Amino acid sequence: MSKKICALTMVRNDDFYLKRWVEYYGRELGKENLYVYFDGTDQVIPDFCAGVFAKAVEKIGGQVVQMEKCRLKFLSEKAAELLESYDLVIGTDADEFLAVDPRTGISLKEYLEKADICTSLSGLGVDVGQNTREEGDIRDDATFLEQRHYARLSTRYTKPCVIAKPVTWGSGFHRIKGHNFHIGKDLYLLHFGYFDLGRIKARFEDPSRREGGWTKHLAKRSKTINLVTNRRARNWERWTRAARIIQTIFRPPYAWNKPSMFEAVIIVRIPDRFSKLV
């Protein structure tokens, strides 16, 4: 059964990731089904957004916590509007890519059309890092996953990013208020926000991020690079299967609608079959 599916995101000063986001979801869903909101009317809409619904809106002010709440309230409202015309809405940050395991032989759209989604669907969170002993700075002449091969299996990125009815996303799309989450088999949310040490350092120099209180957040996320560099990588098939089971069953005591893995640090090597995806 054919379903109408769209994706939305919100960015500020983030053309590097947004370009890949538009390319990826445009290929999977069609550019006409992408909705990009630019945080601030001072933002210039880039040429690569041609064919996409792209709009600059009034900047969301405040410190990081309050700003995130307002940002996700805005995106939740826009998603609810889109669900009047679409069957499913995918909401992610511009550095996140919902992907189906290539071994299935089906596209993201085909996967979601077959999925039985009541309220939401999550991909297993995969926080891609940089093994600085083996991998250099990221380049534009190759896909991300041709250049990065290691990741942490992360509950933080097991997000309910596909919705079938109006909901209220929590900050960062990390949960849906009042609803449980369901992790799709062979479905992954690949996060690339902190997969390059050079880009993390560059983000420290962005005045708007400093003013918004992001410095501590960015420093914390460089931890992924340290982990994938210094920890032994485990088998993808075995540990992604285990992570799905654990995250489905267990919850942190402070948030029943978020997954838990008891703070376990599981580093995996991403199979080569993923290399052309993003």
Extract the runs of DSSP E, i.e. beta strands, from 25-160: 34-39, 53-57, 88-91, 96-100, 120-128, 150-153
Residue 107: which CATH number? 3.90.550
User: According to the 3-state scheme, what is the secondary structure of 2-29?
Assistant: CCCEEEEEEECCCHHHHHHHHHHHHHHH
Give residue-wise pLDDT tens across range 145-189.
999 999 999 999 999 999 999 999 999 999 998 899 999 999 999
- 0.85 surpassed by pTM: yes
Identity (one letter) of the amino acid at 204? F
| Helix, coil or strand: residue 167 | coil
With beta carbons less than 8 A apart as the criterion, state whether 34 and 7 touch.
yes
Residue 48's domain comprises 5-274
State how many domains the chain has.
1
Per-block average pLDDT, block size 10, for the chain (278 residues)? 94 95 98 97 97 96 83 96 98 98 98 96 98 95 98 96 96 91 97 91 65 60 90 98 95 84 94 97
Q: How far apart are CA 196 and CA 128, in angstroms?
A: 9
First to last CA, the chain: 27
Return the pLDDT at 62: 75
